[in-house]
Amino acid sequence: DVVMTQSPDSLAVSLGERATINCKSSQSLLSSSNNKNYLAWYQQKSGQPLKLLIYWASTRESGVPDRFSGSGSGTDFTLTISSLQAEDVALYYCQQYYSTPPTFGQGTTVEVK
């Protein structure tokens, strides 16, 4: 199975500041057939379903604010919140869908400093 490792496990950021979450996979998620990275990011707020934020490593899901962006390729990926808002306090997960079984990172908690 592909192992997904996120860093840090938690971070505290001041409102309006940038938050950066890293995700590393144990093997490349870049497909040579379509040049796409099979990596998604999700947000989980307390008591709510997980919400898809980003897929194909950098494509924002419809309705997701543009302060959320994804980048990276191969084995190293980043989720950036450009200007943290109070409603962004949540747990964030990365997930690979390059191979079965799909696997997830351990999650990163984002809090307000």
Candidates 9-17, 34-42, 70-78, 79-87: pick the segment binding other proteins (CB under 8 A).
34-42
Site for other proteins in 62-101 (CB under 8 A): 93, 95, 97-101
Decide whether 7 or 83 has the Cβ nearer to other proteins: 7
DSSP characters over 32-46: TTT--B-EEEEEE-T
Instruction: Among 48, 60, 85, 108, indicate the residue that binds other proteins (CB under 8 A).
Output: 48
Report the 10 Å Cβ neighbour count for 108. Answer: 22
32 binds other proteins (CB under 8 A): no
Of 96, 40, 48, 49, the closest CA to residue 68 belongs to 40
- Whether the Cβ atoms of residue 109 and residue 12 lie closer than 8 Å to each other: no
Q: Which residues bind other proteins (CB under 8 A)?
A: 38, 40, 42, 47-52, 55, 61, 93, 95, 97-107
